[in-house]
A and B are shown apart, each in its own frame.
Chain A
Amino acid sequence: MNRTDRLALSHLWVAIVAFGVAAAMAFMQALSRASLDLPWRSAKMYYLSVTAHGVLMALVFTTFFIMAFGYVVVTRALDRPPATPGLAWAGFWIALAGTLAAVWAILTGRATVLYTFYPPLKAHPAFYIGLTLVVVGSWCWAAVMLLSYRAWRKEHPDAPAPLVMHGMLATVIVWLIATVGVAAEMLLQLIPWSLGWSKTIDPVLARMLFWYFGHPLVYFWLLPAYVIWYTVLPRVAGGKLFSDPLARLVFVLFIVLSTPVGFHHQFMDPGVSAGWKLLHTFLTMGILFPSFVTAFTVTASMEVAGRMQGARGWLDWLGKLPWRDPLFSSVALSMILFAFGGIGGAINASFGMNAVVHNTAWIQGHFHLTVGSAAALTFMGASYWLLPRLTGRELELALLARVQPYLWFLGMLLFSFSNHITGLMGMPRRIYDASYDGATAAQAWRGLTEVSAAGGLLLFASAGFFILVMVGTALAGKRREPEPVLWTEPLEPVSPRRTLLDRYGLWAVVAVILVLIAYAYPLWAHLRMARFGSPGFSPF
């Protein structure tokens, strides 16, 4: 193992541990949903576990996995060690220290504010400072990615970046634009307020800044998954990428459209005017387009793979695909789940329908298909593919690895679909107990809540399999010469020169202009309105 692989592996292991702890937290929630009377079950434990699950899954597991994958892309696609390794390691330790501080605050019951941490719920300062350090660590990673690309470009002045790096550069740009919002919320509002330096806080301003960050955060999770779908999946399936330029276009569209859409999370908020909510609605619909293109290109690439293995008929190429390979099955199943997630997303973005589902169980049903499947299941599949290639050890407990994606798929179908339905029936999300003193409306949710609990238990078993395979491989996997990390070849040769789609600076500028159009005036108007701050509350 060389030094740069140690960098990627360190990040990967933090991701895996965070995932394991977060999965254990989800297990407790599943038991709550089943209304089982267990001695340690309490509202305090439930809301604490929801907070820990959200922070560790959505913020820590994803970010550390994406950083690990970014370093693998630099070493294996640009064929060079990451630029400024000192900065890369500094980023790792800063993000890890921040994670530990935030996790300490959560697990000791000082920060039961959920991963959306809406003020005036007030957590211990270590929670806010810790999460800010995670973001600072990720900025170091972003800088290393950009510097590595610049160094590569000096040696390849005309060539376009390999597609896998193109996708990761898009991820970096989206992340840098997005995190401005959460950094402002943390540094200008939450940290000074939690330390007692400012007495009051404006919760709507905090929500605007949070969702400026919160929606592109979704694409920060999703883009690396798309990168894997485009550049790893077809190769593992024995095929080629159907269209390289369209894949590049997709990532460029995400750079441009990811951020100016955040008000669609605030449709039901007071204090934000209707016109701006409408503008964000239109832009949100636009962002469906690159995902439609992805659905076609990736599916077509799988068909190419099936035909290269000799399929002739309309659908028999499906049978030629390596359904027993854990990377392939993880990604293919995550794509199926994500198709439902995408349709649900279009529903959420339509404010008329959103009024019915806002903050209901529908929402957790929805985002477990996106971040919980498209991203998380893809990342697990990628870990099966990556760990042997980084450590030079064969995958241990390969049977568990083969079963695990299917178990996740089944668990997620039960969990997500039942939550979508109870959501439509008006069950709120994030509640310890759904009985409401025996109200008739609440009784109708029973049964389905138990289906969701059963789904949760299957997901927990699947997560346990994943952890066993990872730990087993690291400790006991047979040593051998590691297979090389190889990316998918396009069906048609890539243009030898950079095109408009490879002008990252230009697209970043376009994105910033669009962000200014969507956010500058509403923020300015908000700040000059007569507002009253709110003191903090810690009812946990």
Chain B
Amino acid sequence: MNVAFYEKIWMWAAGVLILAFLVTITVGVAGSALQPPSHVETIDPTKIWNDARFTQRGVTVDAHGATVIAVAMMFAYAPAELRVPAGRPVTFRLTSADVTHGFQIVGTNGNTMIVPGYVSQFTTVFREPGEYLIVCNEYCGLGHHLMSAKLIVEVGGEARP
């Protein structure tokens, strides 16, 4: 195939750019454990209120950080207000009581889908204390835009459940 000189340069440049993207991702994965978010765990969506994993909803704080257990439903989160410590890892464990919802902590990269029949789990650290808005970002019915919750990031370790 006869390729013009300038186009050759362009194609090499495009190839190098894409390679740079791939190397960046690989370095992140291998060096900093920066993997795609993922958690594979199933749950019977018709029985979540009696499932031992979701009966104790709220925040538990221990020496390492905090764990948040919450349920998404049309059109609210239970509980609707969460208090977590700043600067320490917070693990969210979420599931849905009905349709697919989203869970997005505005102003952070805390973001996950909540799909019925599955448990979503991710861990993040909030460095900035303050009040954050949590919104549902997956259409879940006519009250979708009303579905929100509050996350309060507190200084120190005195977070209450």
- For A359, list chain B residues within 8 Å (CB): 102, 104, 111, 113, 137-138
Instruction: Tell me the bound Cα distance from A315 to B34 in angstroms.
Output: 44
Q: Does A158 contact B (CB under 8 A)?
A: no
Segment of B55-63, B83-91, B118-126, B152-160 engaged in the interface with chain A: B118-126
Q: Does B67 contact A (CB under 8 A)?
A: no
| Chain A: minimal CB distance from B97 (Å) | 10
- For B114, list chain A residues within 8 Å (CB): 270
**Which residue of the partner chain, among A358, A439, A539, contacts B141 with CB atoms under 8 Å?**
A539
Q: Considering the complex, give the chain A residue whose CB is closest to the CB of B75.
A: A539
Q: Does A355 contact B (CB under 8 A)?
A: yes
- For A274, list chain B residues within 8 Å (CB): 35-38
Contacts A270-B40, A436-B148; A44 near B14 (Cβ below 8 A): no
Q: Which of B57-116 contact A (CB under 8 A)?
A: 74, 98-100, 102, 104, 106-107, 109-116
User: Is A43 within 8 A of B7, CB to CB?
Assistant: no
Segment of A97-105, A242-250, A462-470 engaged in the interface with chain B: A242-250
Q: Which of A398-444 contact B (CB under 8 A)?
A: 425-434, 436-437, 439-442
- For A535, list chain B residues within 8 Å (CB): 46
**Which residue of the partner chain, among A272, A285, A427, A529, contacts B21 with CB atoms under 8 Å?**
A285
Residues 25-53 of chain A, each 1 if its beta carbon lies under 8 Å from chain B, else 0: 00000000000000000011001001000
Instruction: Tell me the bound Cα distance from A537 to B116 in angstroms.
Output: 11
User: Is B14 within 8 A of A288, CB to CB?
Assistant: yes
- For A203, list chain B residues within 8 Å (CB): 100, 115-118
User: Is A432 within 8 A of B115, CB to CB?
Assistant: no
**Which residue of the partner chain, among B40, B42, B74, B146, contacts A532 with CB atoms under 8 Å?**
B42
Q: Which of B1-55 contact A (CB under 8 A)?
A: 1-4, 6-7, 10-11, 14-15, 17-18, 21-22, 25, 28-29, 34-46
- For A77, list chain B residues within 8 Å (CB): none
Instruction: Tell me the bound Cα distance from A282 to B111 in angstroms.
Output: 22
| Chain A: minimal CB distance from B104 (Å) | 6
User: Is A270 within 8 A of B25, CB to CB?
Assistant: no
User: Is B104 within 8 A of A430, CB to CB?
Assistant: no
Q: Does A13 contact B (CB under 8 A)?
A: no
User: Is A271 within 8 A of B115, CB to CB?
Assistant: yes
User: Is B21 within 8 A of A350, CB to CB?
Assistant: yes
User: Is A530 within 8 A of B42, CB to CB?
Assistant: yes
User: Is A43 within 8 A of B117, CB to CB?
Assistant: no
Among B22, B117, B139, the one with the most A-chain Cβ atoms within 10 Å of its Cβ is B139
Segment of A188-196, A293-301, A452-460, A474-482 engaged in the interface with chain B: A293-301
Q: Does B145 contact A (CB under 8 A)?
A: yes
Instruction: Tell me the bound Cα distance from A530 to B119 in angstroms.
Output: 13
User: Is B34 within 8 A of A43, CB to CB?
Assistant: no
Instruction: Tell me the bound Cα distance from A245 to B1 in angstroms.
Output: 7
- For B44, list chain A residues within 8 Å (CB): 532
User: Is A426 within 8 A of B144, CB to CB?
Assistant: no
Contacts A271-B40, A285-B22, A352-B28; A428 near B136 (Cβ below 8 A): yes
- For A282, list chain B residues within 8 Å (CB): 22, 25
Instruction: Tell me the bound Cα distance from A243 to B2 in angstroms.
Output: 9
**Which residue of the partner chain, among A288, A428, A433, contacts B104 with CB atoms under 8 Å?**
A428
User: Is A534 within 8 A of B116, CB to CB?
Assistant: yes
- For B116, list chain A residues within 8 Å (CB): 120, 203, 534
| Chain A: minimal CB distance from B127 (Å) | 15
Instruction: Tell me the bound Cα distance from A300 to B7 in angstroms.
Output: 9
Q: Considering the complex, give the chain A residue whose CB is closest to the CB of B119.
A: A270
| Chain B: minimal CB distance from A209 (Å) | 14
Instruction: Tell me the bound Cα distance from A293 to B17 in angstroms.
Output: 13
User: Is B120 within 8 A of A270, CB to CB?
Assistant: yes
User: Is A428 within 8 A of B42, CB to CB?
Assistant: no
Instruction: Tell me the bound Cα distance from A530 to B2 in angstroms.
Output: 55
11 contacts between A and B (CB under 8 A): A50-B139, A112-B142, A268-B113, A352-B109, A426-B133, A428-B137, A433-B145, A433-B146, A436-B148, A537-B141, A539-B143
Q: Which 3 A-B pairs have the closest CB atoms?
A: A539-B141, A426-B106, A292-B14
Residues of B participating in the A interface, judged by any CB pair closer than 8 Å: 1-4, 6-7, 10-11, 14-15, 17-18, 21-22, 25, 28-29, 34-46, 74, 98-100, 102, 104, 106-107, 109-121, 131-133, 135-146, 148
List 11 additional contacts besides A535-B46, A537-B98; criterion CB under 8 Å.
Answer: A43-B143, A47-B144, A269-B113, A270-B113, A273-B38, A277-B38, A285-B18, A300-B4, A431-B145, A532-B44, A534-B116
